[in-house]
Amino acid sequence: MEADHPTPSGLWLPLVTPFRDGMLDEASLRRLVRHYAGEPIDGLILAATTGEGLTLDEEEVERLVALAAEELAAIGRRPPLFLGLSGSDTRKVAKALQHTAAWPLDGYLVTCPYYTRPSQEGMVRHFSALAEGTARPIMIYNIPYRTGVNLGNAAMLELAARPNIVGAKDCSADMAQSFDLLRRKPPGFAVLTGEDAFFHPMLTQGAEGGVVASAHVETRAFAAVRELLRGGDGPGALAAWRAICDLPGLLFTEPSPAPIKHWLWRAGLIDSPEVRLPMVPVSGSLAARIGHEVERLRTGAAPAVAVAAMS
């Protein structure tokens, strides 16, 4: 496999998948891609957790990728476009890699096998087999509280030696494990936090960036935190972070991506906040809070989101 894959870095957006009347909302999808291509994002991920990938059928995923790539080509900006993949059968995931080989993609975000709870050796073999089955770069998505299994740092570092396993979306929810991985990772292997609330602390410890669902909102503010740190302005980065650090709490008050979709709908970026079962729309109380915040941003009023309100 090629050894010169660029290292993922910066602010990556796990794009929501807009629906309307049970169908993929192509007009809203095009609007979203155009909008975020004009924002300071460094990569897009389609059909992952925030994109409700497990509810999409094969034809919808293919259409989703084609439309996103088409829209990016039309506007002349092409951030890396990754596809989210998951599965507990290595053979099936490998077939998905083969099936999507001709799609206009730049790489994959692949979760650890869920439900079956394989050993560390089993996961090393799983990701090794996948890496051997594609020339494209793979980011490993380690999220134990969803999959039921944690890919430890020893196994992660073994996999990092493979040239097209280029990084990890870290959602271990264990800061000691995350910081240890940051200290030990080899050059060319990126650690991007997937915990929105940990974005600033992970960057201060050397993370290359983040896959941040909350960056659907206040995209420029999230990007500014990283840019200020890269420029050596630690106090400025901390101040920028404190201005938005309560936003993930609001957007994850109820299961994601319903709150994010509700916000985008209220902001006029998508035509419906629809989600697919088993996800359900936000509650009336959360809808009111989100509506208040959307209006606050429109008018430039002082923040009303507070840590106490997140409980």
**Contact indicator for 277, 258 with CB cutoff of 8 Å:** no
Please give the pLDDT value at position 301: 63
Alpha-carbon distance values, 259 to 67, 194, 251, 265, 281 (Å): 24, 17, 5, 10, 8
Please give the pLDDT value at position 300: 77
- From the list 36, 95, 115, 169, the catalytic residue is 169
Alpha-carbon distance values, 269 to 18, 226, 265 (Å): 10, 25, 6
Q: What is the Cα–Cα distance from 170 to 142, expressed in whole angstroms?
A: 6
**Contact indicator for 215, 201 with CB cutoff of 8 Å:** no
**Contact indicator for 111, 85 with CB cutoff of 8 Å:** yes
Whether 111 has a binding-site annotation, put simply, is no
* CA-derived radius of gyration, the chain: 19
Over residues 296-306, the mean pLDDT reads 65
Over residues 113-136, the mean pLDDT reads 98
Q: How many CA atoms lie within 13 A of 239 on its CB side?
A: 5
Please report the domains of the chain, with CATH numbers, ordered by start residue. Answer: 10-234 (3.20.20.70)
DSSP letter, residue 306: -
User: Confidence class of residue 137 from pLDDT cuts 50, 70 and 90?
Assistant: very high
Amino acid identity of 238? L
**Least reliable range by pLDDT among 46-50, 73-77, 265-269, 279-283:** 73-77
- From the list 36, 108, 141, 261, the catalytic residue is 141
Please give the pLDDT value at position 219: 98
User: Confidence class of residue 310 from pLDDT cuts 50, 70 and 90?
Assistant: very low
92 is catalytic: no
Please give the pLDDT value at position 193: 98
Which residues contact residue 9 at a Cβ distance below 8 angstroms, ignoring those fewer than 6 apart? 42, 190, 192, 208, 209
169 is catalytic: yes
Bridge-based pairing of strands 23-24 and 43-46 is: unpaired
Q: What is the Cα–Cα distance from 215 to 218, expressed in whole angstroms?
A: 6
* Tens digit of each residue's pLDDT (9 = 90 or more) over 239-254: 999 999 999 999 999 9
Which pair of tokens denotes residue 106?
Answer: 């730049």
**Taking 50 as the threshold, does the pLDDT of residue 309 lie above it?**
no
Q: What is the Cα–Cα distance from 85 to 46, expressed in whole angstroms?
A: 9
Amino acid identity of 94? A
* Tens digit of each residue's pLDDT (9 = 90 or more) over 172-187: 999 999 999 999 999 9
Residue with tokens 């935190």: 225
Residue with tokens 């929810």: 173
**Taking 70 as the threshold, does the pLDDT of residue 307 lie above it?**
no
The 3-state DSSP class for residue 307 equals helix
Please give the pLDDT value at position 5: 86
Please give the pLDDT value at position 298: 86
* Tens digit of each residue's pLDDT (9 = 90 or more) over 8-36: 999 999 999 999 999 999 999 999 999 99
Whether 50 has a binding-site annotation, put simply, is yes
DSSP string for residues in 149-184:
----HHHHHHHHTSTTEEEEEE----HHHHHHHHHH
